[in-house]
Amino acid sequence: MNLELDGVTYGIDDARILTDVSLAVGSGEVVTVIGPSGAGKTTLLRLASLFERPTDGALRCDGIDPWARSRDERLDLRRRIGVVFQQASLFETSVARNVDVGQRVRRPWPRRFRDFLQRLADRWIHGSLTVDERTLEALELVGLRDAWNRDAKSLSGGEAQRVSFARALAAEPDLLVLDEPTSDLDPRNTAILERAIERARGHDHGVLLATHDMHQAERISDRVAFLLEGELVEVGPPERIFEAPRDERTARFVRGDLLYDENELFA
């Protein structure tokens, strides 16, 4: 899916959070949003996931403005977008069932009903839970294949984050939207997730992610977008953004001179 934000502005009440943001994510492309805390990264990702409607400007998925379509059509587009936000929100059931939910959203209702009957039959015949091979594959990608039968409640924060990621992958989304997907992970698991992102790109899925990890942005991005106070300062390939940024504010941010109190620094 080609996602395009064209002069998008977004505000809540009188507060303007994003101003005139234009950014595109193509198939097979990883675009990373960087910026200080409060810059508007999560808000941008929520708009891209069709959770929020732009106040002004346009957003297009494969040329279609979802907000000009019916609710059902918008829902169909939303189902093609896999979303992982910072706080993993898992259901109180097994790991496998949590991942399976990701797959089910893409299935038509008759198929979902058939699968439901199949599960009931399996439970009756085998007396135990069975698990779909695709679910296991998604768990394998995040290094949690053996955990499929665990209760999601028993997972650590990092494991829960990986299960959320597996759920998004299982749906084979055309676009993955990831908000700080590795914030709770150690270096080994960060590498596992980055490999999964790489693989999603290899399958021609677009990826839009926000991160505070500059090394990660440099490692995995095709393009990096620097957001400051709700405005997109600069977008470009990682080599340019990190080594030869065009804007002084980008240079200060990537050097680490500008972080959490940009008002003071730019006064």
Ligand X SMILES: Nc1ncnc2c1ncn2[C@@H]1O[C@H](COP(=O)(O)OP(=O)(O)OP(=O)(O)O)[C@@H](O)[C@H]1O
Q: Which residues bind ligand X (CB under 6 A)?
A: 12, 15, 17, 35, 37-43
Euclidean distance between CA atoms 175 and 206, whole angstroms: 5
Taking the complex as a whole, the smallest distance from the CB of residue 123 to ligand X amounts, in Å, to 41
Taking the complex as a whole, the smallest distance from the CB of residue 28 to ligand X amounts, in Å, to 25
Euclidean distance between CA atoms 159 and 155, whole angstroms: 6
Taking the complex as a whole, the smallest distance from the CB of residue 232 to ligand X amounts, in Å, to 12
Euclidean distance between CA atoms 229 and 210, whole angstroms: 15
Whose Cβ is closer to ligand X: residue 17's or residue 90's?
17
Taking the complex as a whole, the smallest distance from the CB of residue 225 to ligand X amounts, in Å, to 12
Whose Cβ is closer to ligand X: residue 171's or residue 178's?
178
* Count of beta carbons in the 10 Å neighbourhood of residue 153: 11
Taking the complex as a whole, the smallest distance from the CB of residue 26 to ligand X amounts, in Å, to 23
Whose Cβ is closer to ligand X: residue 41's or residue 201's?
41
Residue type, 9: T
- As given in the structure block, the two tokens for residue 229 are 């106070």
Euclidean distance between CA atoms 240 and 238, whole angstroms: 5
* Count of beta carbons in the 10 Å neighbourhood of residue 95: 28
Whose Cβ is closer to ligand X: residue 141's or residue 235's?
235
Whose Cβ is closer to ligand X: residue 4's or residue 179's?
179
SS3 144: coil
